[in-house]
């Protein structure tokens, strides 16, 4: 019976889905590490939790190592350590190395988390990626720009999603970046890469000991960066009904080569068992480029979309994968999509939400779930906005139509 430790920073709705999934697995002893007290564990789950350790700083690898060792002494040796957040991947890897837990160690985790190293590893393996570099000074940044030209993308070396990411199109914008205090330094280098004009997709892949056993994928409308740059844009993610079109299957060999390179020599072990989230670009000429890869469940609503499209519970499937190196492939039976509602105007709070009833009527039977933004909510700082809806259709065109019906009618205003 494997002893699994899951890091649940706060017992919030999404985190509790993961906790519930691990707790429901037969043959698993489950312990939790969280910043919340034990009393915050949902009452329905408390009887299924063998151990709990409260930790204020759950991304501190030393503190996390102390917590895992304490659970190992109190409950039993830890067989698997899991966490869904991007920020947890390096700390968990350090703990696995220190305690001797199967799974992704520091060297592999750094391939995924350090975006500059990631591009170097992929490039060395012949995987197509954008030209990029790591700048430790403004002079280095300017030298790279001189070699590739504007526009360029500038972002943190270990970023999360598109946050703190900038598209720089001129010398004036570069100077403005420095004036904001975002210039690179030896202590805080920035990754810089050429801007790729292409359609942005994702590829979610389940691997067991390095072998891909299942894939899904989505398309962003618009890209996360465009959504951040243009607050007035509504943001959608589409998971198409078709999973055999050349647009998607032609990328499979690139996806596999990229994962083989990033997992490295550890790919034939438990370190190669994962659900990965790969963002990639498809150019008009049919060629593709890998952008970034996360070795954790995807965000921006993709987990529920995969569950809808494949008539599955991907949270439960991921828990089983992590715990037992086991996954039953899921056929795709629907198209699915998510619309994220973002406000317009100045101000830091929502003052009006309009068009909800009309949007519900227009989306019709395709509407699965609707989390309506509420007047008085604080303005969100990410591209997901303050509310969202998910849709399902027998065709990709039907899912697109439902998403369009939602984003054309719902209007959120800040004030």
Question: CA-CA distances (angstroms) from residue 221 to 284, 339, 350?
Answer: 16, 9, 23
Residue 379 domain-assigned (yes or no): yes
169: confidence class by pLDDT, cuts 50, 70, 90: confident
DSSP letters for 140-171: HHHHHHHHH-S-EEEEETT--TTTT-EEE-SH
How high is the pLDDT of residue 225? 60
Q: Is the model's pLDDT at 401 over the cut of 60? A: yes
Which residue, of 331, 348, 374, is where some domain finishes? 331
Domain shared by 276 and 345, yes or no: no
Residues 6+ apart with CB under 8 A from 43: none
- The sign of the dihedral angle between the CA atoms of 102, 104, 108, 114 is negative
Bin 411: left if φ > 0, else alpha if -120 < ψ < 50, else beta. Answer: beta
Choose one of 298, 331, 364: the last residue of a domain.
331
- The residue among 402 and 195 whose pLDDT is bigger is 402
pLDDT band at 149 (very low <50, low <70, confident <90, very high): confident
Q: How many CA atoms lie within 13 A of 181 on its CB side?
A: 0
Give the tens place of pLDDT for each residue, 266-307: 989 999 999 999 999 998 898 999 999 999 999 989 999 999
Write the pLDDT tens digit of every residue in 175-189. Answer: 887 777 778 888 888
- H-type alpha helices, 241-355: 246-249, 252-263, 302-309, 314-324
341 and 290 in a common domain = no
Query: What's the pLDDT band for 382 if we cut at 50, 70, 90?
Result: confident
pLDDT grade, residue 112 (50/70/90)? Answer: very high
Whether 226 shows a pLDDT value over 70: the answer reads no
Which residue would you say has higher pLDDT here, 52 or 380?
52
Answer yes or no: do 315 and 360 share one domain.
no
Q: Is 107 contained in some domain?
A: no
Which residue, chain included where needed, has tokens 């996806």? 255
pLDDT at position 140 over 90: no
Query: Are 83 and 148 part of one and the same domain?
Result: no
Let me know if residue 238 belongs to a domain. Answer: yes
- The answer for residues whose C-beta is within 8 angstroms of residue 307's C-beta and 6 or more apart is 313, 314, 315
What CATH number is associated with residue 34? 3.40.50.20
Q: Check which CATH number belongs to the domain holding 409 and give it.
A: 3.90.1170
Could you give the CA distance from residue 215 to residue 332 in angstroms, rounded to a whole number?
10
- pTM for the complete prediction? 0.90
Which residues form the domain of 176?
A: 131-194
Q: Is residue 228 located within the same domain as residue 281?
A: yes
pLDDT at 230: 57
Closest to 377 (Cα-Cα) out of 341, 337, 338, 339: 341
Confidence of residue 342 (pLDDT cuts 50, 70, 90): confident
Domain assignment present for residue 118? The answer is no
Q: How confident is the model at residue 227 (pLDDT cuts 50, 70, 90)?
A: low
Asked if the model's pLDDT at residue 49 lies above 70, the reply is yes
Residue 184 lies in a domain: yes
pLDDT band at 389 (very low <50, low <70, confident <90, very high): very high
Buried b (16+ CB within 10 A) or exposed e, 56-69: eebbebebbbebbe
Q: Which pLDDT band, with edges at 50, 70 and 90, does 383 fall under?
A: confident
Q: Is the pLDDT reported for residue 162 higher than 80?
A: no
Averaged pLDDT for residues 154-163: 66
Summary mean pLDDT of the chain? 92
Based on the structure, what is the number of domains in the chain?
Answer: 4
Residue 109 lies in a domain: no
231 and 355 belong to one structural domain = no
Nearest-angstrom CA–CA distance, 286 and 281: 10
Domain shared by 349 and 395, yes or no:
yes
Q: Look at residue 203 and tell me if it is in a domain.
A: yes
Listing DSSP states for 61-75 in one string gives HHHHHHHHHHHHHHT
Q: pLDDT confidence of 110, banded at 50, 70, 90?
A: very high
Residue 75 in this model has a pLDDT that exceeds 80: yes
Residue 231: inside a domain, yes or no?
A: yes
Residue 126 pLDDT greater than 80, yes or no:
yes
Do 287 and 349 share a domain, yes or no?
Answer: no
């Amino acid at each position: 019976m494997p002893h699994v430790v899951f890091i649940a920073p706060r017992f919030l709705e999404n985190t509790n889905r993961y906790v519930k999934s691990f707790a429901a697995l037969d043959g698993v002893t489950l312990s939790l590490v969280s910043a919340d007290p034990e009393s915050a564990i949902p009452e329905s789950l408390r009887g299924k939790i063998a151990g709990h350790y409260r930790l204020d700083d759950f991304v501190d690898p030393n503190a996390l190592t102390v917590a895992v060792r304490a659970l190992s002494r109190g409950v039993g040796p830890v067989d698997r350590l899991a966490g869904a957040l991007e920020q947890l991947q390096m700390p968990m890897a350090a703990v696995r190395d220190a305690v001797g837990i199967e799974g992704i160690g520091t060297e592999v985790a750094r391939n995924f988390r350090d975006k500059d190293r990631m591009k170097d590893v992929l490039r060395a393996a012949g995987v197509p990626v954008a030209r990029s570099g790591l700048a430790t000074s403004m002079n280095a940044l300017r030298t790279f720009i001189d070699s590739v030209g504007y526009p360029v993308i500038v972002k943190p070396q270990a970023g999360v999603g598109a946050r703190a990411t900038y598209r720089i199109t001129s010398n004036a914008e570069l100077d403005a970046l420095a004036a904001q205090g975002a210039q690179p330094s030896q202590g805080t280098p920035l990754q810089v890469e050429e801007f790729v004009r292409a359609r942005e997709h994702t590829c979610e892949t389940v691997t067991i000991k390095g072998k891909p056993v299942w894939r899904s994928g989505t398309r962003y409308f618009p890209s996360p960066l465009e959504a951040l740059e243009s607050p007035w844009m509504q943001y959608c993610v589409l998971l198409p009904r078709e999973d055999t079109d050349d647009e998607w299957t032609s990328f499979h060999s690139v996806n596999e080569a990229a994962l083989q390179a990033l997992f490295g020599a550890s790919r034939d072990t438990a370190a190669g068992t994962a659900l990965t989230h790969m963002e990639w670009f498809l150019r008009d000429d049919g060629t593709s480029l890998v952008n970034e890869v996360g070795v954790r469940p995807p965000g921006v609503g993709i987990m529920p979309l995969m569950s809808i499209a494949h008539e599955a519970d991907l949270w439960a499937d991921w828990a089983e994968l992590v715990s037992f190196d086991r996954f039953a492939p899921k056929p795709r039976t629907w198209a699915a999509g998510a619309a994220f509602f973002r406000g317009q105007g100045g101000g830091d709070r929502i003052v009006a939400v309009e068009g909800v009833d009309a949007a519900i009527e227009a989306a019709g039977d395709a509407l699965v779930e609707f989390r309506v933004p509420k007047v008085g909510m604080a303005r969100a700082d990410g591209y997901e906005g303050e509310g969202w809806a998910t849709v399902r259709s027998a065709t990709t065109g039907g899912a697109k139509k439902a998403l369009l019906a939602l984003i054309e009618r719902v209007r959120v205003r800040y004030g």
